[in-house]
Structures are given as C-alpha cells and as structure tokens.
Amino acid sequence: MENIHKPYYKFSDYLKERFGCRVHKVSVDAGFSCPNRDGTKSKDGCIFCDNKGFSFNVRMPEQTIRHQIKKGIEAGLNKFKAEKFIVYFQSYTNTYAPVNELKEKYDIVKSFYNIAGIAIGTRPDCVNNEVMDLIESYASDFEVWLELGLQSIHDKTLQLINRGHSYSDFLETYQMVKNRGKVKVCAHVIIGLPGETKDEIMGTARTLANLKVDGVKIHPLHVIKGTKLEQLFWDKQYKPMSINEYVDLATEFLEHLWPQTVIQRISADCPKEYLVAPLWLLEKNIVLQKIEDKIAEKESFQGKLYKE
C-alpha cells in the first residue's frame, strides 16, 4: 500500500483495501480481569485506568458475549452499512485467563457468518507461546490482530503511570509474535503522559517506526473520574494538553512513523459523564479535522520524517 499522498494511513482505508467492503469493529467486554488490578502486579492499576465495572475474574456468561457481538453487528449493519465485522476483545486484559477459557470465549466469534477478523487487546506481559498457539489457530479463518498496550517506550514513564511492565517486556512479546508471523500487532500509545518531553514522545514514534509495527492507536491522555490521574489533576500535579498542543504532537508523531503503519485511532472516546478533562476530547470530529488541517498546513504526511 502507498500512502505517500495521503495525510495518514487510516484504518478505514486499510480495511477497504483488504476486504473490499465496509468493515465495522465490534467491541466486546468478555469479563476478563487484569494483573495490574487484581493484585498480581498491583491493585491500583494504571493511573489513567477507569475501574468502573472492573471485575476480578468474573466469568462472563457465554450468552452475554454472544449478545454483545449480535448487538454490535446489528448496529454496524444499520448505522454504518458495514458488510463485515472485526470482533474486538477490548476490556481489560483479554489473554489473562487459562487457555481453555480463552478458547471458549474467542470461539464464540465462529458462530457468526460475517466476521472477517478478531482483535485481542492485552498487556505485553500477558502473552506467551501457549496463548499465541491458540490465537494463531484463528488466523486461517480470520485476520487476527493483537493489540498491545505500550503507551510509551520510556521505563521511567511506565513506572510513573504504574503500568507494571517495561519496554523490554513489550519488545520481547512483539518480537515473539512477529517471528511467529501469523498475527498483526497494533501498539497502543498515549501522548501527553506526565513528565514526558516532546523528544521522548517522538522517541516512542521513532522506535515504533523502526519496528515497522503493523498498526498504532494513538490516544491523548485524558482524566477519567475515579482514577489516580484525577487526584493528580485536582492537586494540580497534572495539567492536560490543550487541543492545539495535542494536534501538534500527534501530527509530528505521524511524521516519524513508518508510512505503512495503519493508524487505527488518533483520538479517544470517553462518555462525557466519566470525563473530567480535557473537555475538547468530546469534540472528536474537531480533533480529527484539526489534525488533517495541520498536516495540510505543514505540507506533511505520515512518514515524512521516517528514515529507513
């Protein structure tokens, strides 16, 4: 794929090229837990993580997962005129359970006829060869993405935000998955983490560019009610970015990335009843438009600063 004349390589464009039709992602909460919340790594979780509804290994009934997929497909068919779907196991750590339980939950996808792919969101320290044997077993019928929460390549930041894993954990898992070769990897990163300089943020972009990661989700850090970050915000120890700061940083981040990395997301969704700050996050279309305008103003594009 050549994206050189496009501002950035949007996921919607990738999906259209790949599947020849409109594809909609259906997000599922399959009732998994997280080692950074259940006390295995920590009880506090990442400082930005919303713990509403967090459940300690509550087993989600099969029917409930099936129902979520069915509802998501209905919405995608009616609202977005989608023809195919990717089921995204999104909430918490979706590889954090015994393999037989993972299989039981992932297998539910097989009973829907119009599923093109599966995406599994997880932490870099919760993926091993046994889990990958299972995940890769879906790759003959579906496009499979592993979505790895990285957030930053800087360990001092990862410690500050209480991630409970290091950059080398990410790298090890990334290389293991890529060496096996059947599953695409999407790295999640956050722009605006406390204490990070612009150069450090761009360091994360350059590292992901060198890795030629298949996909990236870029989020602006935002404060959700009930999180540790909210305390820091009210104590004036954390100041959220302005929309213009975010737009400038996100645009430059794209310039450093590998041109063929698919940008799965470049803003964030947060229901307004949970959002503390910054409130511009609620105007997602404005954020996206401003990024496109900035790219045009700079005569820029994804990969402009990328060096082979």
Enumerate binding residues for ligand SF4 (CB under 6 A): 34, 36-37, 45-46, 49, 92-93, 123, 149
Asked if 31 and 59 count as a contact pair (C-beta separation under 8 A), the reply is yes
Asked if 238 and 232 count as a contact pair (C-beta separation under 8 A), the reply is yes
| Residue whose CB is less far from ligand SF4, 44 or 248 | 44
| Residue whose CB is less far from ligand SF4, 15 or 229 | 229
Residues comprising the chain, all counted: 308
Residue 144, sorted as left (phi over 0), alpha (psi -120 to 50) or beta, turns out to be beta
Supply the minimum distance, in Å, between the C-beta of residue 161 and ligand SF4. Answer: 8
Supply the minimum distance, in Å, between the C-beta of residue 294 and ligand SF4. Answer: 28
- Max Cα-Cα span within the chain: 52
Supply the minimum distance, in Å, between the C-beta of residue 133 and ligand SF4. Answer: 23
Supply the minimum distance, in Å, between the C-beta of residue 4 and ligand SF4. Answer: 34
| Residue whose CB is less far from ligand SF4, 215 or 259 | 215
**Runs of H (alpha helix) within 194-270:** 198-211, 228-234, 243-256
| φ and ψ at residue 47, rounded to 5 degrees | -65, -20
| Residue whose CB is less far from ligand SF4, 137 or 194 | 194
Supply the minimum distance, in Å, between the C-beta of residue 54 and ligand SF4. Answer: 8
- Identify each DSSP E strand in 205-301 by its residue range: 215-220, 223-224, 262-265, 275-277
If one counts every other C-beta atom within 10 angstroms of the C-beta of residue 235, the result is 8
| φ and ψ at residue 95, rounded to 5 degrees | -120, 10
Could you give the CA distance from residue 221 to residue 136 in angstroms, rounded to a whole number? 32
Tokens of residue 156, six digits: 């001092």
| Residue whose CB is less far from ligand SF4, 37 or 84 | 37
Supply the minimum distance, in Å, between the C-beta of residue 45 and ligand SF4. Answer: 3
Could you give the CA distance from residue 98 to residue 244 in angstroms, rounded to a whole number? 44
Locus of tokens 């290091």: 166
| Residue whose CB is less far from ligand SF4, 93 or 207 | 93
Supply the minimum distance, in Å, between the C-beta of residue 90 and ligand SF4. Answer: 10
The SS3 call for residue 295 is helix
| Residue whose CB is less far from ligand SF4, 228 or 290 | 228
